[in-house]
Structure 1
Amino acid sequence: MSLVFWAVFTSLVLGLVPLSGHTALAQDAETLIVRNDRGGELAKRLRQIRELRQSGRPVEIRGGVCFSTCTMFLGLPQTCISSRTVFGFHGPSSYGRPLAPKVFEEASHVIADHYPPALKRWYLETGRYRIRTLHRIRGARLIDLGVRGC
């Protein structure tokens, strides 16, 4: 299974498979508005983030929740967040099932590399070890940790 996982993961990240639209996203002129995004597949989100990083398109997280892979938008320099949004963090898994230790370690670092430094440290020390439930953190707290507010 891990060979298949990494083959699909690599092809998506390298852009060999097209990224489908994400229903939790809405476009407001040039700004990408993120509302109530509960996450999704890591490889798809990585591709989307790479495209946003290259374009420099502003990202505003304004919805009630931003869970799982949605939190990876926080590492984009053009992202700002609402103090009211609840962010939900958990470790990497395969649809809620634990990953092999080596894959878990690699995927954790891929995710963490998309966070600002203080959040990255917390995620690697604490956040990634919760798999079936979420660590919930309000945007106001993340703003206190250096994430840019809108």
Structure 2
Amino acid sequence: MASNKGRGKRTLRGTLPTALALVMGLAGAENRAYASVQPYVINNDRGGTVRDRLLEIDTLRTTGQPVEIRGQICYSTCTMLLGLPQTCVSPGTVFGFHGPSRSGKRLKPDEFEYYSELIAQHYPETLRNWYMKKGRKRIRGIYRMSGTEIIRMGVKAC
């Protein structure tokens, strides 16, 4: 009996790490397969807080899940998704840009500069340059740009 326990422990020690590695590998493969099959589809997103959007972007960047912006509109912080390499856009979507504010109120100059740069770093270079020169200067209202224009600026079409 004592020798059976010894063999059982040896077998368990060898099998458990192998099984755990297999399960973890399968879980990773499942996540990669899910990300490549199930896109994260954006429909009619009016934006939100920069903080919340940064958390969403970080998750999407980590998983590599494809992002499809297909709704009629993508305004404000929604546009920050344009900087992800796995993002594509519908030519018919309208994108809305404005400068950073706090509930529509101007920020102090140093905060305005900080948040403008933070937002702009999530855009492809051509769009980033436009935003820093023009797009961020509008606080009330938005600059609208078609998906076709965004595609011309380097974002993939869906």
1:62 and 2:70 correspond: yes
- Give the match for residue 134 of structure 2: 126
SS in 2 for 1:142: helix
1:144 matched to 2:158: no
- C-alpha displacement at 1:145, in angstroms? 1.6
TM-score by length of 1: 0.80
CA shift for structure 1 position 147: 1.1
Q: In the alignment, what sits opposite 2:123?
A: 115
User: Which 4+ residue blocks in structure 1 deviate beyond 6 angstroms?
Assistant: none
Return the alpha-carbon distance in structure 1 between the equivalents of residues 38 and 90 of structure 2: 18
Greater Rg, structure 1 or structure 2?
2
Structure 1: stretches of 5+ with no match in the other structure: 1-28
Distance 1:77 1:145 in 2: 13
Which residue of 2 is the match for residue 83 of structure 1?
A: 91
Please give the root-mean-square deviation of Cα atoms over the aligned residues, in Å. 0.7
Question: Secondary structure of the residue that 1:87 maps to in structure 2?
Answer: strand
The alpha carbon displacement at 1:36 in A equals: 0.2
The aligned amino acid for 1:146 is: G
How many residues matched? 122
Residue 7 of structure 1 is matched in structure 2 by: none
1:144 is displaced (CA, Å) by 1.3
Aligned counterparts of 2:61 and 2:77: Cα–Cα separation in 1? 16
Identity in percent: 53
Deviation (angstroms), 1:138: 0.2
- Give CA deviations for 1:79-99 in whole Å, capped at 9, x if unaligned: 000000000000000000000
CA distance in 2, matches of 1:145, 1:103: 27
